[in-house]
Structure 1
Amino acid sequence: MNFHQLHIFYTVAERGSFSAAAQALHMSQPAVTMQVQALEEYFGTKLLNRSTKRMELSEAGMTLLPFARRSLELSQETDAAMAAFSNKLQGRLQLGASLTIGEYVLPRLLGPFGREYPDISIMLKVMNTTQILEEIASHQLNFGLIEAPVEHPDMVLDAVMEDELKLIVPSGHPLAAREDKIYLEEVLAYPFVLREKGSGTRQVMEDVLLERGFDPGSIQTVMELGSTGAVKSAVEEDLGITMLSISTVKHETALGLVKMIDIADASFKRNFYSIQLRSALLPMSAITFLSYLRERQR
């Protein structure tokens, strides 16, 4: 048995056929078949049940599959860790990021990452969480970075960064002049400008409201907007108040256009998550990038 054979077996199992695996591995179909047969001879049992209509894993194959996957993941992680010493890691990194992450968090990190790994090219799509899930499911993206946990039977989540939402109000708003503690119930008496449904920022806010016993549907929503920039502009014009990530309003706060306020009885801390297909193996460039993000949190 060798690692190459495990890799081929795993690819055949995940792709569902020898021909699809051969195409993915840039091998001939007979070569793929031969390597799987060699692995079956090594274990002394059939790993795949073949028929004219379809191919299925045998009981032994189903047992071997998670071990094959773990061996591939360990190999990738090893390569990524050692590449850090030579900075010779290459590849194309395709990812999606929700709007807050893609517009405000990643830009300050991509520059240093590019200087450290100049041979990795990055293709970043900025979209909402729902769209990211759709593109991952259709294999258009390797993985995504999202602002709130989601449940999907075919995908796996991993926390990679931390963030916090704060109440954002216009500089001339009554709450901006308050020096005493401000509580959630009185905040909800004011009209809000919110991100659209499907936004990670909005989901986090609504989840915390539910935990605190408030109905998100009772919020006086005067406007729903599709970008954080539009929400900030609306707040600056005194159209309403909002909840946004700290990282998105640093410039406006410094200029005195808006004020960031703590809510005494509610915390809107959250994680940013990477999400990928459960059955997919990330390329080494993606593993390295996610490790880079985690390191920046320490």
Structure 2
Amino acid sequence: MEGSGAGRPSAGPLAHRVPDLGALELLLAVARLGSLGGAARELGITQPAASSRIRSMERQLGVALVDRSPRGSRLTDAGALVTDWARRVVEAAEAFDAGAQALRDRRDSRLRVAASMTIAEYLLPGWLVALRARRPDTAVSLLAGNSAVVAERLLAGEADLGFVEGLSVPSGLDSVVIARDRLIVVTAPGHPWARRRRSLSAKELASTPLILRETGSGTRQVLDVALGGLARPLIELSSTTAVKAAAVSGAGPAVLSELAVGEELSLRRLVAVPVDEVALRRDLRAVWPTGHRPTGPARELLSLTRS
């Protein structure tokens, strides 16, 4: 023998058999006010629309719910019973709504951002100031690291939104381009390259030991691919600021984002060295786990980066 439901015809989806919340709220208002017109006004709809909704609910349930007369509207016996059920459904829906709002409030109370160094140091501060003006109650935490670290944090669920600088999107992430950047070769004014009268060749740059970011950084990846390989680093450092400081000190040439060296170039603390035969450009991207597009504060921050 099959289970207790054997032989019963399928009743179809519950949503097709149960009135929607709007109709149930209207029925409760009619019961409370004793007037279809009063219920319509309370819910902000016209009386003809309210009458149509009640008739539709009666057809759906197969019973009369409201007796209408010049003196007002009165529930039938079936209508009184359905109203009791409706009250419990609406109360459950209100509890559901309150719980969903609590989840949104918890989500919106914090934002975890992971960003590669150039974006973290030179672009994110302005975006976060703008976000704070819109969402003063959202606490923001920022993890700065290279592009590989950003991907790891997102995939581990430890960040809500990330920003990377490499040539490709790390596996498991979706992305959108938010800006474009150019890498430039810089040296201290006393370095021989600062006095060159001709541009560097790509081969010369590739064969010269440079002050570089660590493996895994977007800057290092772009440079390595553009030049087809690099010489052993002169110095390897883990932040854009550290690379820039080493170049300013005269330790050697470096390749840095144009975003990072504007002040140093204007003050002649660094000199840009032109390079032939190679385009050192890259996309700056916002990234998030595949299929999980940003919501709440993360979505708003994303919109600020593109405005």
- TM-score computed with the length of structure 1 as normaliser: 0.63
Once the 2 structures are TM-superposed, how far is the Cα of residue 40 of structure 1 from its aligned partner? 5.3
AA in 1 matched with 2:155:
A
**Worse overlay, 266-275 or 170-179:** 170-179
Matched, 1:292 2:304: yes
Q: Partners of 1:229 and 1:273 in 2: how far apart?
A: 21
Cα deviation code 1:135-185 (max 9, x no counterpart): 111111112101114454422122111111101111112221123333222
Alignment of 1:142-161 (within 5 A): 142-161=160-179
Bigger-Rg structure (1/2): 2
Would the aligned equivalents of 1:154 and 1:279 in 2 still touch at CA under 8 Å? Answer: no
Rounded to whole Å, the distance in 1 between the matches of 2:110 and 2:238 is: 29
Could you say what the CA RMSD is over the residues aligned between the two structures, in angstroms?
2.6
SS state at 2:198 partner: coil
Superposition pairs for residues 52-201 of structure 1, below 5 Å? 91-201=109-219
In the aligned structure 2, how far is the partner of 1:188 from the partner of 1:287? 40
User: How has the CA–CA distance of structure 1 residues 123 and 246 changed in structure 2, closer, same or farther, with 3 Å as cutoff?
Assistant: same
Q: Any idea what the Cα deviations from partners look like across 1:257-285, whole Å, max 9, x if unmatched?
A: 21122313211111111111113242222
**Post-superposition offset of 1:238:** 2.3
Deviation at 1:41, TM superposition (A): 4.8
Larger deviation, residues 155-164 vs 107-116? 107-116
Count of residues in correspondence between the two structures: 208
Distance 1:130 1:159 in 2: 17
Residue 262 (structure 1) aligned with residue 270 (structure 2):
no
Instruction: Answer yes or no: is the 8 Å Cα contact 1:157–1:274 preserved in 2.
Output: yes
What residue in structure 2 maps to residue 228 of structure 1? 240
- Superposed displacement of residue 92, structure 1: 2.4
Identity rate, percent: 28
User: In the aligned structure 2, how far is the partner of 1:294 from the partner of 1:260?
Assistant: 29
> In 2 relative to 1, CA 237–39 (structure 1 residues): closer, same or farther, beyond 3 Å?
farther
| Partners of 2:167 and 2:282 within 8 A in 1 | no
Q: Is the 8 A contact 1:104 1:248 kept in 2?
A: yes
2:306 counterpart SS class: helix
Indicate the residue corresponding to 1:207 in structure 2: 225
Which one has more relative contact order, counting CA pairs under 8 Å at least 6 apart? 1
The Cα shift of 1:96 comes to 0.4
Question: Bigger shift: 178-187 or 127-136?
Answer: 178-187
Uncovered stretches (5+) of structure 1, i.e. residues with no partner: 1-37, 44-89
- Measure the CA separation in 1 of the matches of 2:114 and 2:220: 18
In the alignment, is the contact (CA less than 8 A) between 1:168 and 1:260 conserved in 2? yes
* Amino acid aligned to 2:269: L
CA distance in 2, matches of 1:102, 1:200: 13
C-alpha distance 189-132 of structure 1, shift in aligned 2 (>3 A): closer
1:222-248 deviations in Å (ceiling 9; x for gaps): 211111122122212322211110111
How many angstroms apart in 2 are the aligned matches of 1:168 and 1:292?
31
Q: Residue 265 of structure 2 contacts residue 271 of structure 2 at CA under 8 Å; is this kept in 1?
A: yes
Stretch moving more, 135-144 or 278-287: 278-287
Aligned 8 A contact 1:190 1:240 in 2: no
Distance 1:176-1:102 versus aligned 2 partners, 3 A rule: same
Distance 1:270 1:127 in 2: 18
CA 1:152–1:202 in structure 2 vs 1: closer, same or farther (change >3 Å)?
A: closer
1:251 maps to: 263
Provide the rounded CA distance (Å) in 2 between the counterparts of 1:243 and 1:40.
62
- 1:220, distance to aligned residue in structure 2 (A): 4.0
AA at the equivalent of 1:271: D
The Cα of 1:203 is off from its aligned counterpart by 0.8
Cα distance change, pair 176–196 in 1 and its aligned pair in 2 (3 A): same
Residues 1:101 and 1:118: Cα distance change in structure 2 (over 3 Å): same
For 1:254 and 1:148, locate their aligned partners in 2 and report how far apart those are by CA, in whole Å. 27
Alpha carbons of 1:179 and 1:152: their partners in 2 closer, same or farther (altered >3 Å)?
Answer: closer
Distance 1:117 1:284 in 2: 10
C-alpha distance in 1, partners of 2:264/2:222? 22
Give the match's secondary structure for 1:221. coil
Give the conservation status (yes or no) of the 8 Å contact 2:191–2:252: no
